Amino acid sequence: MSALASSIGWINVQQCFRFRADKMDIDEIAIERISVEDLRVDRSGVLIEQMASLAYRVFREPPWNDDCELVRLHLGLGVDLMRRNAVALIAKTRGSGQITGYALGYEVLRESEDPRDLTLSTISGTTALDYLFEAGGRVFYGDTLCVDPDARRRRIAYGLVVAQLRLIRSEGFTYRIGRTAVNATAMRALFAKLGFEELPVQDAVFADRTYWLLRL
C-alpha cells in the first residue's frame, strides 16, 4: 500500500499522521495495532465496546443492512482476533482516544483442521480462488473495514488499509484479498486506487459481492 505510504506521511504503523478535510485541520489520528491480548487486559471493556459499537452503526447502513446484535459483534471480534496471523488496526483521535475506524483481517488457507482457521472456499462458497495457494502462496483476507460515518472523507480508511498492507508485506504474505458489494462505490474506489484488481469470481454465499485482489 511506497508512493502510497509517502502520500500520507507515515513511517511505521504506530506513528501518527495528520489528515486534512475541506482545507481544515482535524484531530490527529493515530493508527495502532491491537491483539486479542489487548482486549483481555482492558478491564474497562472500552476498546471492544467502541469497536463493536462502530461495527453496529456501519453494518446497519446500505448496502449491508445487517441488523447484527451488539453481543454477536463482541463475540465475532474476539473470534476473528484469534484466527491465524490476525492483524487488527484501530484509528483513534490522539486527544480523546475515540476509535474512528478499524481494519481487521487474517490468514486464510486452502484447507485446515484447526477450527480457528477459515478457508477461502468456506468464505466464498467456491473453490474458484484456490489457485492463489499454488506454489505456496500465502493469502491474507481483509475481513472488516469500518469508519465512523461522522469521520469519513478524512482518508482514514485509506490510512488503515495502507498500514495493513505494509504489515502483511513484512510478514511474508503473497496476496491480500477482500470482497465488497457491487454497489459499495466508496470501497470499490478505494480498492482501485490502491491497485487491487476485481476478479471475475462470483461469491456463492453473497451473490451481490465481488472479490478484489492485490499481489504484494
Please return the burial class of 212, using the count of CB atoms within 10 Å of its CB with bins 0-12, 13-18 and 19+.
buried
pLDDT beyond 60 at 14? no
Cell of 205: 454465499
pLDDT tens string 99-142: 999 999 999 999 999 999 999 999 999 999 999 999 999 999 99
- C-alpha 99/C-alpha 54 separation (Å) is 8
Number of structural domains found in the chain: 1
How far is Cα 164 from Cα 7, in angstroms, rounded to an integer?
A: 15
pTM: 0.86
How high is the mean pLDDT of the chain? Answer: 87
pLDDT tens sequence across 168-207? 999 999 999 999 999 999 999 999 999 999 999 989 988 9
Domain range for 43 is 3-215
List, for residues 39-57, the tens digit of each pLDDT value.
Answer: 999 999 999 999 999 999 9
Confidence at 25, pLDDT banded by 50, 70, 90: very low
Long-range contacts formed by 72-79: CB under 8 A, 24+ apart: 74/48, 74/49, 77/39, 77/48, 77/51, 77/52, 77/104, 78/36, 78/39, 78/48
What is the CATH number for 54? 3.40.630.30
Check residue 108 and give its pLDDT.
99
